[in-house]
Copies of this chain bind each other. A is one copy, B any other.
Amino acid sequence: MDVKAILAHKRALVEEALTSYMLKAEGPLTDHITAMHYSLFAGGKRVRPILCLATAEALGANPKSLLPLACALECIHTYSLIHDDLPAMDNDDLRRGMPTSHKKFGEAAAILAGDGLLSYAFELLTLPELNAALSPAAQVRIVHLVAKAIGPLGMVGGQALDLAAEGQTIPFEALQRIHRCKTGALITASVQTGAIGGQADTQQFASLTSFGEHLGLAFQIVDDLLNVEGTTEQLGKAAGSDAARNKATYPAFFGVGETRAMAITAVDAAIASLTAFDQRADFLRELARYIYTRTA
């Protein structure tokens, strides 16, 4: 299986959908919508929408009918990056090799671009055209689980914990909680959204949730490794910034070698969650392996 080629194909599908579903930046309401576009089309890997679509495919569903859901997940991810980069938060100047939203448009526009993307995501999650593929009950379930995943006990909570931990010595359990909330929750929710979109039964939903949780963990461990080992050019942001900030990371706790082993364990656990699925889940399996190879 040529994972890279399939990824490129799926990414193109998501890009096209994002372009078609996003509001145009025209008329009097222009500036904050321009800022929304800027960050949304800044070269993201589209991991969350691709996970959502691939999960639905693993269950035999046609992913095209679920594209509004996939786009909503990317809007949410983008909002979180814009707000996390703000001066009052992580105060980052670069994101994916480009000036961050507040550097480009000013703080007010960046805050509003984030707020706009977050609100718009829920418009997309309930777009009338989804009725062809999803029952209203399934849509309600998706809205609820996504809202919970990104809320005060999920992604927002993770960012709050992360800020509180900066410059502090925290135990490993606290680092795990930060990762689970800040990155893991939306990745798991993306898989779950695809699972509901693909009409998973209770057993399948539980297995896919487990897949999402292990994958989210693998993803975060690899991110920590890349921050240590990558170059600024590869990352599109300052390499070694975690260490410079004295941030708790997997490599800081366990060293690079053991961290690599932990990433492999997480990937294996993700793949093991898919035992009951047939070859239609092969792309999910390959995707999990591919995440690890990003460090190699």
Measured between C-beta atoms, what is the minimum distance from A29 to chain B in Å?
A: 4
Counting every copy of the chain, the complex holds 2
Chain A 81-93 interface mask (CB, 8 Å, partner B; 1/0) = 0010011110000
Measured between C-beta atoms, what is the minimum distance from A163 to chain B in Å?
A: 5
Asked whether any CB of chain B lies closer than 8 Å to the CB of A65, the reply is no
Contact assessment for A119 and B29 in the assembled complex, using a CB-CB cutoff below 8 Å: no
Interface of chain A residues 170 through 206 with chain B (CB within 8 A) = 174, 177, 181
Contact assessment for B88 and A106 in the assembled complex, using a CB-CB cutoff below 8 Å: yes
Measured between C-beta atoms, what is the minimum distance from A248 to chain B in Å?
A: 14
Cα A156 to Cα B32 with chains together (Å): 9
Cα A28 to Cα B161 with chains together (Å): 8
Interface of chain A residues 119 through 162 with chain B (CB within 8 A) = 119-123, 125-128, 135-137, 139-141, 143-144, 146-148, 150-157, 159-161
Contact assessment for B112 and A115 in the assembled complex, using a CB-CB cutoff below 8 Å: no
Measured between C-beta atoms, what is the minimum distance from A154 to chain B in Å?
A: 8
Chain A 6-32 interface mask (CB, 8 Å, partner B; 1/0) = 000000000000000001000011011
Cα A83 to Cα B163 with chains together (Å): 19
- Partner among B118, B153, B174 whose Cβ is within 8 Å of the Cβ of A118: B118
Interface of chain A residues 233 through 272 with chain B (CB within 8 A) = none
Contact assessment for B108 and A89 in the assembled complex, using a CB-CB cutoff below 8 Å: yes
Asked whether any CB of chain B lies closer than 8 Å to the CB of A164, the reply is yes
Interface of chain A residues 85 through 119 with chain B (CB within 8 A) = 86-89, 106-109, 111-112, 114-116, 118-119
Interface of A is mostly: helix
- Partner among B106, B126, B151, B160 whose Cβ is within 8 Å of the Cβ of A123: B151
Asked whether any CB of chain B lies closer than 8 Å to the CB of A36, the reply is yes
When A33-B152, A120-B152, A147-B126 are in contact, do A111 and B136 touch as well, CB less than 8 Å?
Answer: no
- Partner among B87, B120, B153, B155 whose Cβ is within 8 Å of the Cβ of A147: B120
Cα A174 to Cα B28 with chains together (Å): 9
Which residues on A are within 8 Å of B, measured CB to CB?
23, 28-29, 31-33, 36, 83, 86-89, 106-109, 111-112, 114-116, 118-123, 125-128, 135-137, 139-141, 143-144, 146-148, 150-157, 159-161, 163-164, 174, 177, 181
- Cβ contacts A to B, 11 pairs, < 8 Å: A32-B156, A36-B152, A89-B108, A112-B156, A119-B147, A119-B150, A120-B152, A122-B122, A123-B144, A123-B148, A139-B140
